Structure 1
Amino acid sequence: MWGNFSERGRGKGENKFYVKTIALLLVVAILLPHQYVMASGASCGNGCSTYDIVLIGSEVEGMMLAKAAHKNGLKVLVLDPREKPGGQLIQGQMQVLDEPNDKRKRSLVQGEMKKLYDGYKSKNIRTHEQFTRYYNQLIKGIPLRSGITIKKVSMGKRDKLKTVDSITYIAKDKKTYTVKADYWVENTDHNALTGKLGVKRIPGVETVYKSKKPDYMAATLMLKFKNVNWPKLHQAVLKDYPLTNVAKKYGPGTYVDWNYATGFSNVTAKFKPNDSQLMLRGLNTTYQLNGKVIMNAFLIFDVDPANPESVRKAREKAIKEAPRVLQFLKKNIPGYEHAQLDGFPDYLYIRDYNRFETDYIINYEDVMSGKMFWDNVSIGSYPVDLQGTKSVPKGITLGKPDRYGIPLRSFMLKEYENVIVAGKNVGATATAYGSVRIMPNTALAAETIGIIIAREGKHKRLKQLTPSDFKRIHKYLEYSYRIKVQK
């Protein structure tokens, strides 16, 4: 428009028309409420870049939000404090996938995450290389900077609530950058953003295990093996059927098919680590084919993911103990007689850390009663599984719920108008978190939120959405994405 207005030869009447039009547009822009304008068109000064959404961290759950928003035309940036992207899925190699099913055994995996689970079940995504290809395809086209350090968080206010207006960070090149965004997403396992905002922590598993100070479920070093004779393991367990006999011999929940193996807690309980920070629990193993397996079983207590030195020392201790675990498995688990270790992940699987108050905090009764919310952004399920801590190393399970709702408000940071939490940062009590925490539950929520921001952002802020809005949103999600988050 501006180029045409400056053309020579335009008549006086036509010029007056364009002047009036531009004046009207300027008045509208001034009067339009700030909260109804997405940020990407605005300027934030020299040396500052503006985005609709900035994610802090590259965990796969939040990346679902990033992809949905990016695909729908929003300007998205990912700033990752870790040296490499991928979080627990890629750097921690937590590639033994838990699946939410309702009491009729119907899978609740939906949206983008279903592509990963379909590939996992069909054995097309089992190895680390295959998971990495999936992740790289997921983030394709989204700008991502790893190895950043947040230097400053600048605050503001909107609608009587606090806002994060901009973040200044130091990049790998040692230069300082500033970014401004309409929405910010906490997508790390160590509160890289929310830990700086002065918000109130939701009490953790110390409330369940009666600890005197804040406590967290154990982390895990994923163990990788090669030369495992999986058919021998499968056949050995089949010989002990029925399952009542299997449970008596190997431990409750012991089960082996051609893809997965769980249980064996009667066996693993006999392993005595050299370090009290470590424990071998019941096995949770995926067969990756060609004699390779990956195992989620080697617990590490008292890991602080916000402290790189704590993570480094914990990982080193576990790696040092891994050969002893291997020798134990070779002697006590069929099919592992010739097994060898097959390398180690670069990082740990962090289950649990600080969660901060959100507009709604999901509780145990919500989960077990199957409560649905007007602002559902996900449908979840999974046993209420609280992994052990150093004081209660064996952990507890508090029941298996049917499907339940997970509301948008449980991902909106309390007291802040424009801060979203993703993945493990969901607002839930310690007991509810035992079920809500698994990846498909919160990944679906993140994807849905990304879609909602893109669709509704020009008209309403997330915290302004009403039950009436969500009736329309839910219909749109089901029609356009086959995502159903109502009962």
Structure 2
Amino acid sequence: MIGIGVAGLLSGCEEKSKPAVVVNPDKPDVVVIGSEIEGIYLARAAADEGLSVVILDPREKQGGQLIQGEMLYLDEPFDEKGKSLLQGRVKELFDEYKDGKIRKPEQFQAYYNSLAEGIPVESGITITDIERTNGTESGSRSIQSVTYKTKSGEMKTKTAKYWVENTDFTALTSKLGAARIPGVETVFNSPGRDYMASSIMLKFKGVDWKVFQKEVGGMSKAERESVYGGNTYVNGTFAYGLGNIGAAYKPSRDNFFLRGLNVVNMLDGEALINALLVFNVDPANPESVRQAIEQGRQESDLVVQHLRQKLPGWEKAEVNGYPEYLYIRDYDRYETQYILQASDVLSGRMHDDNVSIAGYAIDLQGTRHSPWGTSTGKPDKYGMPLRSFLLKGYSNVIVAGKNVGASAVAYGSARIQPNTSLAGEVIGIILGQIGSEKELASLTAEDMSELHAYIKKKYDIKLAGVKAVNKLEGYTEEELAKINAGSMSIKKK
């Protein structure tokens, strides 16, 4: 462990001998609140590194966006040269996905189950009380225990060294008095708090993908863009663009909007589309979520009629069931020790405490006030620091996944699942390595250098010595401020 064994481990490359993990259900090392997959990567890595981990899930069913929301159109981050940035366990998921071995919902479920295997979980809990103490010399507070009500109404209390916010509605961090990071209302000039739209995934069967691919893909670029919209592309696995198809659809309710289509070939004539936006969903309000799902199912039945008329190979398409939950892109996030800015993302900034090498365009999906959203630019690659996953003012609270500390603009890229999945896995590894000898929030650059070397050696995850293209070279301070505010996009070269 840091300060004792990591240097020796690296010199000989021996693996530490760890005793079998014995989970104390009342006093685990790590408690993960929520079951989104990004935090499950953290839980799995921490458990594999020898820590006792427990999951407390406020939702009654596990898996969130990926499993219950069936957001199975996986976005892969690439650098400027088209090289994939995937590393770690999430790369294994994408490899199986691209090979067609994981494409059906039950295959994703099996993958998810393999990550969570052996980690105790209680679903349907409600946090009722949080006991906090003044912790370190720096004045940071810490969570000592959390009391919650089980689904059956029993009251329980857990103590732990670390707590992880891993829900899509800030079930833990919303109760800690932290400052909210301003949201997309600052970009779109909304009248109050605003969030990128949620989505309900559209599931279809009876699609002839070969005809779809041949007829759309066989057009000239100019003809394809004229008919279907700019940036339209179809291959054997997925399709994207098709903005004219979305624009031509008139939804039955004003809280729905069909944007450009992200379509994945689910094989055997099945397809799934990420495109139907739902505005003004409050993920912390069960009735708001229930109503959006019910209305989304009704809208799905209308969308399929539109697609039959507009897309070749879709003439016999039918609705193939409905997801049980939504894809929640955006909700309240709270200040972390470091808040990523768009200038960090686009300049390719790296950090001593990198826990992920990330990529993806700054993609702000629409709101009710600006349904088409906006994009500020595409980075080469950039580092995500540990500090952006540590809640400000607390020594033992970690935020996972879509709770990452990023400005409203930077969040358009940082939110992408592979970026924060890698971060979750790396943080779990670090927790196992430092054990009880150091606090996560007090790790030094020297500590992180040792940890990076260990993680590269054992897990083949490279976090240090990575160079990126600076897309903001030559920009003035005034221009950088506008980019960070979302009022200016980067210039195309």
TM-score normalised by length of structure 1: 0.90
Residue pairs, 1:246-395, within 5 angstroms: 246-395=224-373
Q: Distance in 2 between matches of 1:307 and 1:110?
A: 35
Distance 1:276 1:414, change over 3 A: same
For 2:218, the equivalent position in structure 1 comes to 239
The equivalent of 2:374 in structure 1 is: 396
- Return the offset for 1:41: 9.9
Residues 36-55 of structure 1 mapped to structure 2, 5 A cutoff: 49-55=26-32
Distance 1:204 1:80 in 2: 25
Q: Which has the larger radius of gyration?
A: 1
Residue segments in structure 2 that go unaligned for 5+ positions in a row: 1-20, 467-493
| Corresponding residue of 2:48 | 71
Shift of 1:289: 0.7
| Aligned equivalents of 2:361, 2:39: Cα separation in 1 | 23
The code of the aligned residue for 1:357 comes to E
Q: For 1:196 and 1:261, locate their aligned partners in 2 and report how far apart those are by CA, in whole Å.
A: 41
Distance, in Å, in 2 between the alignment partners of 1:239 and 1:90 is 34
Please say if 1:96 is aligned against 2:73: yes
1:154-193 to 2 correspondences below 5 Å: 154-159=131-136, 160-193=139-172
Give the aligned length: 443
Give, in whole Å, the separation in 1 of the partners of 2:23 and 2:34: 24
Selected match of 1:195 from 165, 174, 177: 174
Read off the aligned partner of 2:458 and give its amino acid letter: S
- Verify: 1:458 aligned to 2:436, yes or no: yes
Provide the rounded CA distance (Å) in 2 between the counterparts of 1:343 and 1:154: 43
CA distance in 2 between counterparts of 1:409 and 1:41 reads 30
Aligned residue for 1:430, secondary structure, equals coil
| Distance of 1:261 and 1:394 partners within structure 2 | 19
1:129 partner SS: helix
1:206 to 185, 202, 206: 185
Conserved 8 A contact 2:258-2:277:
yes
Amino acid corresponding to residue 185 of structure 2 in structure 1: E
Equivalent runs, 1:108-127 vs 2, <5 Å: 108-127=85-104
Cα distance in 1 for residues equivalent to 2:429 and 2:451 = 10
- Superposed CA offset, 1:112-138 (max 9, x none): 111110110000000001000000111
Equivalent position SS for 2:161: strand
Residue-by-residue CA offset, 1:281-313 (whole Å, 9 max, x unaligned): 111011011100111011100101011111111
Pairing of 1:134-153 with structure 2 (within 5 A): 134-153=111-130
CA positional deviation for 1:257: 0.5
**Alpha-carbon distance between aligned partners in 2 of 1:151 and 1:471, rounded to the nearest angstrom:** 40
SS of the equivalent of 1:348 reads coil
Match of 1:130 among 73, 93, 107: 107
**RMSD of the alignment, in Å?**
1.3
The Cα shift of 1:459 comes to 1.8
Query: How far 1:248 moved relative to its partner?
Result: 2.2
Are the counterparts in 1 of residues 146 and 159 from structure 2 also a CA contact under 8 Å?
yes
**Residue identity in the other structure for 2:76:** E
CA–CA separation in structure 2 for the residues paired with 1:68 and 1:435:
24
Structure 1 position 250, deviation (Å): 0.8
- Quick one: structure 1 residues 323 and 292, their matched pair in 2 at CA, closer, same or farther if it must change by over 3 Å? same
Residue 404 (structure 1) shift:
0.2
Q: Counterpart in 2 of 1:56?
A: 33
In structure 2, what is the Cα distance between the partners aligned to 1:464 and 1:316? 47
Equivalent-residue separation in structure 1 for 2:247 and 2:209 (angstroms) = 22
1:210-251 superposed Cα distances (whole Å, 9 cap, x missing partner): 11211000000001000101111111113312x233122210
Q: Secondary structure at the match of 2:194?
A: coil
SS at match of 1:102: coil
Provide the rounded CA distance (Å) in 1 between the counterparts of 2:434 and 2:306: 56
Separation of aligned partners in 2, 1:460 and 1:154: 22
CA positional deviation for 1:323 = 1.2
8 A contact 2:402–2:415 mirrored in 1: yes
Q: Is the 8 A contact 2:23 2:53 kept in 1?
A: no
Deviations 1:293-349 (A, max 9, x none): 111011100101011111111111111111110100001111110011000111000
| Counterparts of residues 460-479 of structure 1 (less than 5 Å) | 460-479=438-457
TM value normalised by structure 2: 0.88
**What is the DSSP-based 3-state SS (H/G/I as helix, E as strand, rest coil) of the residue aligned with 2:331?**
coil
3-state SS of paired residue (1:169): strand
Q: d(CA) in 1 for partners of 2:421 and 2:23?
A: 30
Deviation per residue, 1:43-70 (Å, 9 max, x gap): 9xxxx81010000000000000100011
Deviations 1:138-184 (A, max 9, x none): 10000011111111111112112111110111112221111000000
Deviation at 1:42, TM superposition (A): 12
Tell me, which stretches of 5 or more residues in structure 1 are unaligned?
1-39
- Look up the equivalent residue of 1:162 and give its one-letter code: R
Cross-structure match for 2:198: 219
SS of the residue 1:477 aligns to: helix
Q: Distance in 1 between matches of 2:436 and 2:395?
A: 16
Distance 1:294 1:322 in 2: 11
